[in-house]
Amino acid sequence: MRRRLVTLLVLVLCAMAAGTGWATAQEGEAVGGTLRGPEGDPVAGVTVTVTQGGQEIGSATTDAEGAWQVPVPAPGNYDITLDPATLPDGVVLRDADGATLAGVTIRPGQQRTVLFPLVAAGEAAPGGEPGGGPAPPPVPADTGPGMGALLAQLVVAGIKFGAIIAITAIGLSLIFGATGLINFAHGELVTIGAVVAFFLNAAASGPGWPLILSGVIAVVVGALFGAGLERGLWRPLRIRGTGRIQLFIISIGLSLLLRYVVLVIFDSRPQPYADYVIQQVMEFGPVAITPRDLVITLLSLLVLVGVGVMLLRTRIGKAMRAVADDRDLAEASGIDVSRVTLYVWTLGGGLAALGGILFGLSEVVAWDMGFRLLLLMFAAVILGGLGSAFGAMAGGLLVGLVAQLSTAWFPVELQNAWALGVLILVLLVRPQGIFGRAERVG
């Protein structure tokens, strides 16, 4: 049964890989942002133009909320230019040379947010971080002396990206081990965490709490939501004897339902958090990183270590591993499997929400961000070994590193394809994954 489920999941992943084009065709790529003045108030009537290779792609004027968006025809690198002449009196760009953001990378299906910091006329214009979000460095023209620095930068970016994938994939792997469910709705748990934190932190109708407090509450909401799904949906279905394939199909329907509920509530326009948006870059030798991205990386790794210690050292962690390894044997040994399964869903929901918050802080909060990350989560779980939390950690880090490092030699549009290529190569040599156990057929 497990082999059939793995085969089905790999086929679905192939469809999702083709779905990179599917998602792009559905929603397309775009670049946008929100202009705010020195006091944080929206700035309307400012013109922003998008060009590529000297050719104008499109332009937009900020609305009453300071928001603007320009669709682009395909993934790639674009130049974003703000017209300083359209700024209101008394407001100028913080950096006089920052009217054009050159080489902004837009990935397949991405609706990217960029920022133009504004200050009152006469204020100093310190250097900042243009672009409003992380992007892979431009592809080098040669492999000269700069290649070492580029690879170091990409390794740091890959660790950050991979750690976020690993955090979100742990729950997905444990849930499969405990229940045999391939949970297609796990990506929506990621989105819900990010969106709840956004409404508490940055929404106009929200309380405007600090992101740290908002994030803690969002993680609790994600954990409770995961526990609610287990108690209200999945456990009753298992008690009724619903088959695994049927549960898999139900999870797809639940994913679609949750995704479009979030779309109705959140809107389709990607938006950033209110905190830690504009920061100066710190340099550590050849690596340049903002304090925000440094904290994201360190916090992600710390969470992975904490989860690993919990699984290895605590009573409930050992019970989770036992249920994931062999549910029937764990139950025969006196473990309350139903309670442990509830704990697994609670942990998975909380970690998914945390991963969504970190991913939204690293890039931007969007209604379909969890779905876009789901392909890489599944790749990490399969690569590491289905049902293994430590496999999900290793698989996530490997997927993140391969995806980022590939941009040193290949177009950024192919970074996920190379990550999936590594998945295929590993499965050819070790079908059970890195930490998975071989099973005898028959």
Out of 12-26, 40-54, 90-104, least confident range:
12-26
Count the residues in the chain: 442
Q: What is the mean pLDDT of residues 406-415?
A: 78
* pLDDT score of 356 more than 50: yes
- DSSP conformational letter for 365: B
pLDDT tens figures, 158-187:
999 999 999 999 989 989 888 888 899 999
Token pair belonging to 360: 């939204």
Element (H, E) at 333: none
Ordered by where they begin, the domains of the chain are 34-120 (2.60.40.10), 148-429 (1.10.3470)
**Strand runs labelled E in 331-377:** none
User: Among all chains, which residue has been given the structure tokens 């210690």?
Assistant: 309
* pLDDT score of 417 more than 70: yes
Q: What is the mean pLDDT of residues 143-164?
A: 79
Q: What is the mean pLDDT of residues 397-414?
A: 84
Out of 41-50, 132-141, 384-393, least confident range:
132-141
pLDDT score of 14: 54
* pLDDT score of 430 more than 60: yes
Please, how many CA atoms are within 13 Å of residue 211, restricted to the half-sphere of its CB?
17
pLDDT score of 420: 79
Between helices 389-405 and 315-325, what is the axis angle to 10°?
80
Out of 24-38, 334-348, 389-403, least confident range:
24-38
Contact 413, 107 (CB under 8 A): yes
What gap in Å lies between CA 96 and CA 127, rounded to an integer? 10
* pLDDT score of 258 more than 60: yes
As a whole-number percent, the residues of the chain with pLDDT over 70 amount to 85
* pLDDT score of 259 more than 70: yes
DSSP output for 26-86: HH-EEEEEE-B-TTS-B--S-EEEEEETTEEEEEEE--TTSEEEEEESSSEEEEEEE-GGG
Please, how many CA atoms are within 13 Å of residue 236, restricted to the half-sphere of its CB?
6
User: Among all chains, which residue has been given the structure tokens 């993680």?
Assistant: 219
pLDDT score of 13: 56
Q: What is the mean pLDDT of residues 287-296?
A: 87
* pLDDT score of 244 more than 60: yes
Q: What is the mean pLDDT of residues 381-396?
A: 85
Query: Helices (DSSP H) in 180-201: which residue ranges?
Result: 186-201
Contact 406, 422 (CB under 8 A): no
What gap in Å lies between CA 410 and CA 399, rounded to an integer? 16
User: Among all chains, which residue has been given the structure tokens 């946008």?
Assistant: 32
Q: How far is CA 355 from its chain centroid?
A: 7
How does residue 3 score in pLDDT terms, banded at 50, 70 and 90? low
Q: What angle do CA 318, 319, 324 make, to 5 degrees?
A: 100
Question: Which one is predicted more confidently, 311 or 11?
Answer: 311
pLDDT score of 438: 56
pLDDT score of 55: 82
* Secondary structure (H, E, C), 407-437: HHCCCHHHHHHHHHHHHHHHHHHCCCCCCCC
How does residue 230 score in pLDDT terms, banded at 50, 70 and 90? very high
* Short-list 63, 131, 187, 17, CA closest to 362: 131
pLDDT tens figures, 52-95:
878 888 888 998 888 888 888 777 788 899 998 899 888 888 88
